[in-house]
Structure 1
Amino acid sequence: MFFHPMDILIFLALGLAMWAQTKVKGNFQQWSNVRASSNMTGADVARYILDQEGLTNVKVEFSKGGTLSDHYDPSAKTVRLSDGVYQGTSISALAVAAHEVGHAIQDDTKYGMLVLRHRLFPLANLGSQLAPMLFIAGFLLELTNLIGIGILLFSGAVLFQVVTLPVEFDASRRARTKLLQLGLITNQEEKGIGKVLNAAALTYVASTAMAVFQLIKFIMIFRNRR
């Protein structure tokens, strides 16, 4: 069976994404067993950093979404933390909590890439929903224009993922900096913080790479059909 070079790259990116997910869970679990010297919970750390940044209007709440459902909700100005992070006192809990606070700080400072991501979200959401249907319809009905429209919509979703990369990396950078500056972790504990955050960042890299390769493949198919 002959595989197109882009198919091989997509499979490699998929493999990387699966490995990255395993890495995230493994690192999170490993450093969940290491208590931070500050003995503060993730919720305590999130609240402390927010207050130090003057973000007293941003709330810290418990997330009911399960493990690793942690996120910052810009519309509600709320950092939501999963059970293991909200109540946990581990290196993993502090890393994740500080990362989500990093997004709150980005929101407050109008960080350019975050603003752009918010603006792209409606287009990305529309593209991720409609593009697959347009691709299928275009191939089945042999309507090249439908494939072209699907590519345009899918491009918006891919662009959203590309823009997400610097947003996530910047949030992690802010997290490590604030944890150290405020004395919430020691220099030795930063190693564990870095491993948890770097593993999470790798998942974004892998998923973005896979989306970019898929887009390139669809563009090549579209050009060949024309």
Structure 2
Amino acid sequence: MYYGYGYGMGYHFDWTIILVLIGALVSGIASINVNRTYSKYSRVGNYRGLTSNQVAEHILHAAGIYDVRIERVRGNLTDHYSPKEKVLRLSDAVYGRTSVAAIGVAAHECGHAIQHQEDYAPLRMRSASVPLASIGSWVSWPVIVIGLLIGSTPIAQVGIFLFTFVVLFQLITLPVEFDASARALRILEQDRILEGEEHRGATKVLKAAAMTYVAALFTTIMQLLRLVLLVNGRSRDD
């Protein structure tokens, strides 16, 4: 007896689901690691007693940036910098906190603001690729499913092509995130905001956060590989 997807008269075990499960496992491990690491260093305060807001303001002003607002946003680790609005948003777990973890995250978001000011090429590329990534995310799956249901390999391949936009967006995201963390850690050390164990703690937090982006890319690549195998398998069956 076979389980999985069916084409024509029979049913076949879809072994490619293993690729999705591997991706989900890697993503889950990365998520657990970043939450555990952040939780650990959120209980470690900086010796100068500075808040994340103060550190963010210092970094921005030191870089000659005075037109970026710092706001509070709801959620946990929902911190982000909005280039269009020129707003640096810090989550409830970061805003106003004095922990090493909070300062590391705030400094990372400042890194994005500095990238924007310097017209950092990968950041510009990521911003430009957002519309294509959105189209790929929303349209690719319906197109692929329709192609498989009506037995049209070319239509399914169009869906796969659209899905590659999502992969490319996540690939471009990696250098943007790694560079922002590198900038943050360098500034925190040079300005002696965090030193010794405190700086090492912030480094661990930002590295753990960066690995979630690596895991997301890996998971998406596994999904893409699965789609290619499914569509190619259907093509051979036809």
Structures share fold, TM-score greater than 0.5 = yes
TM-align CA RMSD: 1.5
Q: Distance in 1 between matches of 2:228 and 2:128?
A: 25
Q: Distance in 2 between matches of 1:10 and 1:105?
A: 36
- Identify if the C-alpha distance between structure 1 residues 3 and 133 changes in structure 2 by more than 3 Å, giving closer, same or farther: closer
1:171 positional shift: 0.7
Q: Is the 8 A contact 2:42 2:99 kept in 1?
A: yes
Is residue 124 of structure 1 aligned with residue 133 of structure 2? yes
Runs (4+) off by over 6 Å: none
Residue 188 of structure 2: aligned partner: 179
1:3 positional shift: 6.2
What number of residue pairs does the alignment pair up? 224
CA-to-partner distance for each residue in 1:119-144, whole Å, 9 max, x for gaps? 11000001100111111111111121
1:219 positional shift: 2.2
- Compute the TM-score of the two structures, normalised by the length of structure 2: 0.89
Q: Percent identity?
A: 39
Residue 215 of structure 1: aligned partner: 224
Is residue 55 of structure 1 aligned with residue 65 of structure 2? yes
SS at match of 2:46: coil
Residue 154 of structure 1: aligned partner: 163
Is residue 67 of structure 1 aligned with residue 76 of structure 2? yes
State which of 197, 207, 214 in structure 2 corresponds to 1:188. 197
1:216 positional shift: 2.1
The structure that has the greater radius of gyration is 2
Q: Distance in 2 between matches of 1:41 and 1:83?
A: 13
State which of 11, 33, 43 in structure 1 corresponds to 2:43. 33
Residue 18 of structure 1: aligned partner: 28
Residue 109 of structure 2: aligned partner: 100
- Compute the TM-score of the two structures, normalised by the length of structure 1: 0.94
Structure number having the greater helix percentage: 1
